Structure 1
Amino acid sequence: MTKDIQDKGAKRLLRKLFLLALPFILWPLVEVFVLPMNYFTFRIWETISVNSMRVMSGPFYPNVHMQMEEEGELAPRTPYAQKRQVEWYTDAYGYRNRDTKNDVLLIGDSNITGAKLSQEETLAEVLERKLGLDVYSFAPATMNRFLATDRFQETPPQLVIVSSIERRIPDLPAVGQNGINSKVRNFTGNLINSSRALTWLAVTADRISKLGLYHRTLADINRAFGNREYINYNNEFFIEGEYANREFSENDLNHIADVLTGYRDALDERGIRFIFLPIPNKENIYYQLLPNQKKATFLPRLLQKLDKRGVEYVDLQPAFRKLYQQQKVQLYPTDDAHWNEVAVQVAAKLLTNHATVAQLQATPNQAKEKNMLVEYKEE
């Protein structure tokens, strides 16, 4: 009798625990299958970025077309937020492109992806229109991810432009660093891409793992208690503030220059040209708004070392500083640390004028010529 009573008590407890947990089990499913994908997000980036299923080939969900009114990353859902309508396309591999053609390939961070930019304003699309060549945005990604991706071995680009925001340049991985992870990601990504069912399962599982309501509520609580992730000087928002314009040692600069030289050499072995495109921090160009008004010296010193190593680059800092300081042209959104559409146009113009890119325009694509010849013979 006592055992029966204990069993019934245990069952009642389990039922109560189940009922208590049921809303937490069902709610993520409601988020995925009932609510709009961007119901709890303030940018398309968070809406379609891969959260936990990092075995997929790209950083975003594949074959997405979405429009949304976005806010900047530094002060979302605050009185400082500046709303902007943007449009996104992602390709079959989960990168922000309309197609997968790649005469020129851009490797980089969220600036190359185009945070808070509409599709036609991204560097890849602006450069494509200027060059008349197919430009592919492989971002966010690294050189090692590129070297481990077999589709680029089958159809290699003629030119690779590696870009990085200034604050992330010291962390650029050397060739071969974490290479095994990139190879594994290439294998699993190809496997998932080979099946619509596997792609759907991966995307669905990832969306469930995001727990949008939880993270939205947590962010609202943090803001309510005054916690913030931004630095505000003179009504402009920054990520690092004065720390961004710190001095770097000669050893640091030599190490970074060696990493970039390694990129150049790895591409030379494959017959691919290389250009480095460093993007100045917002603090670099807007340094007069910082309390100490200290100028950044990192990029000029680094580029001097690249000159000695024969590494090609495009220097944006002089043009950006001239536009902002002399003509008061805004190059970054007030509520965001990424460049804006004006800065992208400047970068695209400077890239187009670079000797290597100009030579690329003047040289016919041998792969395209070969394909056209085969098609002609078949006819």
Structure 2
Amino acid sequence: MAKLIFRIFIFSTPFFLLLLLELFVVPFGAFNFRSWEAFRPKQFFSALPGPFYPNKYLEKVEKGDLGPHTKFAVFKNVVWQTDKYGYRTSNNSSYHDVVIVGDSNIVGSGMSQEDILSEVLEKKSQLSVYPYSPSRIEYFLSEDRFKNDNPKIVILSCVERELNGVFLPAKALISPDENIFDRTYNPFLSYLDGKLRNNAFGVKLVAFLDQALNPNIFRFIRSEITGEVPAPLYTYASGKTLFFQGEAANKDVSSEDIEKISDFVEKLRDDLNERGIHIIFLPIPNKENIYYKMLPSQKKPIFLRDLISELNKRNIDLIDTQTLFEDAYEKQGIKPYHTDDTHWNSNGVKIASDELMKHINKQMQANEITNGN
């Protein structure tokens, strides 16, 4: 028995030492190819207040999500910082004029902090802009800090490939006689959840346990040895430009599904308006959409164009990123996406932010007139 225990000790010691190395010696994020993986909880999501480890700062050289171990990888110098809630911002204001609810594009995967949409808009507008991302509109609607102090504007964003999927709520909110703000949650569970998430020591302890129980160093060693690619890899005659879904991204979407998405956005618009919140819809085209000529079939997708057309008929305030990105790429040669990553780059953010500023300024002026300022 003693020999068995000794052998187990000898066998496990190197792994334990590697774990201690990651937790206490090397800088945070040293064993991740992207900052996203360093900040993202692996196990205790529900016990943390947001999508990332809170109150963390990291400067890192990282690679895109599509080909980190390939010859197509592009090295990028990035800065990441999260607030006490675990969102990618250094803005600690208790009130925000603008809140952006969206996905990994809004987080700014592949970009440094100063280049992400919320930071760019904040500098341009001189308003407090909060990136409530990655998240869903339902979570924003149930978050006490936004219930108690409404933002003036919500920018609702979603990448094209998710519009007919996870963008829509699991349980329909689209009922003519139900206001989305009237949806109730178990008060005891809500109270308990709030106590856990607002306890600074508890949050710090949970984050540490999550890192300790899910070390990155072993995955890092394995991926370095095997050259493992974390996502599907599509590359065509485009050469070094990689795609997440390839031609499958440009599939047709039925008119019924376009109606369903439009109904949802319209319902959100109406219910948010009742609460004094103006919504701006920001769809983000798939990389495969704008770069469709790089794909074998060269079939131009029409889904996002048709959705934007339908939403315009319903007077939804939106950003026509389909036209903006097409014109920038085809007429000016501006590439709005990283070559080795699924997400948009600083060019894409600039295109969107320039147009968003027109809508934000118009709405803020309308608010001043309404309030008699």
**Alignment partner of 2:79 out of 76, 87, 105:** 87
Letter in 2 for 1:218: R
Give distance in 2, aligned partners of 1:277 and 1:125.
16
Q: How does 1:95-244 map to 2 (within 5 A)?
A: 95-99=87-91, 100=93, 101-171=95-165, 172-174=167-169, 190-223=194-227, 229-233=232-236, 234-235=238-239, 236-244=241-249
* CA deviation vs aligned residue, 1:218-246 (integer Å, no higher than 9, x gap): 3335437x996211121210001111111
Q: CA deviation at 1:262?
A: 2.9
Q: CA deviation at 1:140?
A: 0.3
* CA deviation vs aligned residue, 1:162-191 (integer Å, no higher than 9, x gap): 101111111213285698899999756643
* CA deviation vs aligned residue, 1:228-273 (integer Å, no higher than 9, x gap): 6211121210001111111111222122222222322331232211
Contact preservation (8 Å) 1:96, 1:137: yes
TM-score normalised according to structure 2 size: 0.87
Q: CA RMSD in A?
A: 2.8
Structure 1, unaligned stretches of length 5 or more? 1-9, 370-379
Letter in 2 for 1:137: P
CA pair 182-350 structure 1, distance change in 2 beyond 3 A: farther
Matching residue of 1:307:
312
Matching residue of 1:33:
24
Corresponding residue pairs, total: 357
Give distance in 2, aligned partners of 1:303 and 1:221.
46
* CA deviation vs aligned residue, 1:10-31 (integer Å, no higher than 9, x gap): 4543443344344444533432
Give distance in 1, aligned partners of 2:271 and 2:194.
24
CA pair 17-76 structure 1, distance change in 2 beyond 3 A: same
Q: CA deviation at 1:83?
A: 0.9
Moved more, 28-37 or 60-69: 28-37
Matching residue of 1:318:
323
Which structure has the greater CA radius of gyration? 1
Give distance in 1, aligned partners of 2:267 and 2:231.
38
* CA deviation vs aligned residue, 1:100-156 (integer Å, no higher than 9, x gap): 441011000111011111111111111122222111110001101101110111111
Q: Secondary structure at the match of 2:164?
A: helix
CA pair 181-115 structure 1, distance change in 2 beyond 3 A: farther
CA pair 24-183 structure 1, distance change in 2 beyond 3 A: farther
Give distance in 1, aligned partners of 2:105 and 2:309.
24
Q: CA deviation at 1:47?
A: 1.1
1:338 aligns with 2:330: no
Letter in 2 for 1:68: K
Q: CA deviation at 1:346?
A: 0.9
